[in-house]
Structure 1
Amino acid sequence: MRLRSLSLPEAQAFQQALGCERLPGTLSPCYLAGDALRDAALSPRFVAVEEGERRWLHGLHLTDIPGSRWRDASSPYGYGGPVANSRDAGFLVAAWQACHEHLRGEERVVVEYLRFHPLLANEAGYPGQVLPNREVVSVDLTTDFAAAYPLRLQQVLRKSARAGLHYGEQPFAPQARAFGAYHRAAMQAMGADAFYVFDDAYFEAMGRCPGARLALVTADGAWLAAALLLDGPGVREYHLAATVPEGRRLGASSALLHGAAEAARDAGLRQLYLGGGTDAKPDNPLLFFKGGFSPLRLPYRTGSRVLDPAGYDEVKALFAAQHAAHPQRPIFHRKV
Structure 2
Amino acid sequence: MQSSLLEPASAAWRDTLARCRHDCHHTPGWHSAAERSDNGSAAAVLVTQGEHRLLVPLVRRPLAAGSWDASSAYGYAGPVLSSGAPAGFADAALAAGIALLRKHGCVSWFIRLHPLLNADWHSRLGQVVEHAGTVSVDLTKSAQRLWQETQARHKLGINRARRAGVTARLDRDFATLPRFIELYNHTMTRLDASPYYFFDAQYYRTLVRGLGDDLLLFVAEEGDCVIGSALFTVARGTGIMQYHLSGWDWDYRHRQPTKTLIHAAREWGRIHGMHYLHLGGGLGSSHDSLYEFKRGFSPDTHVFRTQRLVVDADRYVALSGGDRGTLARLDGFFPAYRRPGARFGPPLAQTCHEVAMSATAESRRTGT
Answer whether contact 1:159 1:251 (CA < 8 A) is retained: no
Provide the rounded CA distance (Å) in 2 between the counterparts of 1:216 and 1:49: 41
Provide the rounded CA distance (Å) in 2 between the counterparts of 1:37 and 1:266: 34
1:121-270, aligned counterparts within 5 Å?
Answer: 121=118, 123-125=121-123, 127-143=125-141, 144-171=145-172, 174-208=175-209, 209-210=211-212, 211-233=214-236, 234-270=239-275
Q: Secondary structure at the residue paired with 1:205?
A: helix
Provide the rounded CA distance (Å) in 1 between the counterparts of 2:12 and 2:322: 35
Task: Provide the alpha-carbon RMSD of the alignment.
Answer: 2.1
Tell me the equivalent position of 1:82.
Answer: 79
Q: What is the identity, as a one-letter code, of the residue corresponding to 1:129?
A: Q
Q: What is the identity, as a one-letter code, of the residue corresponding to 2:222?
A: A
Greater alpha carbon shift after TM alignment, 165-174 vs 92-101: 165-174
Tell me the equivalent position of 1:283.
Answer: 287
Q: Secondary structure at the residue paired with 2:36?
A: helix
Does the C-alpha gap of structure 1 residues 47 and 176 become closer, same or farther in structure 2, counting only changes over 3 Å?
farther
1:315-330, aligned counterparts within 5 Å?
Answer: 315-317=319-321, 328-330=332-334
Answer whether contact 2:20 2:80 (CA < 8 A) is retained: no
Deviations 1:242-292 (A, max 9, x none): 112243201211111000000011111010010011x22233211111110
Answer whether contact 2:13 2:44 (CA < 8 A) is retained: no
Greater alpha carbon shift after TM alignment, 166-175 vs 108-117: 166-175
Tell me the equivalent position of 1:38.
Answer: 37
Match of 2:70 among 64, 73, 76: 73
Provide the rounded CA distance (Å) in 2 between the counterparts of 1:126 and 1:95: 12
Tell me the equivalent position of 2:4.
Answer: 4
Does the C-alpha gap of structure 1 residues 135 and 171 become closer, same or farther in structure 2, counting only changes over 3 Å?
same
Greater alpha carbon shift after TM alignment, 218-227 vs 178-187: 178-187
Runs of 4+ off more than 3 Å:
122-126, 171-178
1:126 Cα deviation after fit: 6.0
Q: What is the identity, as a one-letter code, of the residue corresponding to 2:216?
A: R
**TM-score, normalisation: structure 1:** 0.90
Deviations 1:210-243 (A, max 9, x none): 4001011111121111111101121111111111
Provide the rounded CA distance (Å) in 2 between the counterparts of 1:169 and 1:89: 43
Answer whether contact 1:177 1:204 (CA < 8 A) is retained: no
Q: Secondary structure at the residue paired with 2:285?
A: coil
**TM-score, normalisation: structure 2:** 0.82
Q: What is the identity, as a one-letter code, of the residue corresponding to 1:308?
A: D
Tell me the equivalent position of 1:309.
Answer: 313
Sequence identity (%): 28
Provide the rounded CA distance (Å) in 1 between the counterparts of 2:12 and 2:30: 12
Greater alpha carbon shift after TM alignment, 159-168 vs 120-129: 120-129
Answer whether contact 2:241 2:274 (CA < 8 A) is retained: yes
Does the C-alpha gap of structure 1 residues 6 and 327 become closer, same or farther in structure 2, counting only changes over 3 Å?
closer
Tell me the equivalent position of 2:357.
Answer: none
Q: What is the identity, as a one-letter code, of the residue corresponding to 2:117?
A: L
1:30 Cα deviation after fit: 1.2
Q: Secondary structure at the residue paired with 1:265?
A: helix
1:172 Cα deviation after fit: 6.3
Does the C-alpha gap of structure 1 residues 283 and 19 become closer, same or farther in structure 2, counting only changes over 3 Å?
closer
Q: Secondary structure at the residue paired with 1:89?
A: coil
Deviations 1:111-137 (A, max 9, x none): 111211111116443611111111100
Provide the rounded CA distance (Å) in 2 between the counterparts of 1:63 and 1:116: 19
Tell me the equivalent position of 2:363.
Answer: none
Answer whether contact 2:20 2:81 (CA < 8 A) is retained: no
2:108 is the counterpart of 1:108: no
1:16 Cα deviation after fit: 3.9
Provide the rounded CA distance (Å) in 2 between the counterparts of 1:318 and 1:17: 44
Answer whether contact 2:135 2:302 (CA < 8 A) is retained: yes
1:11 Cα deviation after fit: 4.4
- Aligned pairs, how many? 324
1:12 Cα deviation after fit: 4.4
Answer whether contact 1:176 1:204 (CA < 8 A) is retained: no
Answer whether contact 1:224 1:243 (CA < 8 A) is retained: yes
Q: What is the identity, as a one-letter code, of the residue corresponding to 1:142?
A: T
In structure 2, the gaps of 5 or more residues are: 324-329, 339-343, 351-368
Q: Secondary structure at the residue paired with 1:317?
A: coil
1:293-304, aligned counterparts within 5 Å?
Answer: 293-304=297-308
Tell me the equivalent position of 1:322.
Answer: none
Provide the rounded CA distance (Å) in 2 between the counterparts of 1:163 and 1:115: 41
Greater alpha carbon shift after TM alignment, 174-183 vs 200-209: 174-183
Q: Secondary structure at the residue paired with 1:127?
A: coil
Provide the rounded CA distance (Å) in 2 between the counterparts of 1:62 and 1:272: 29
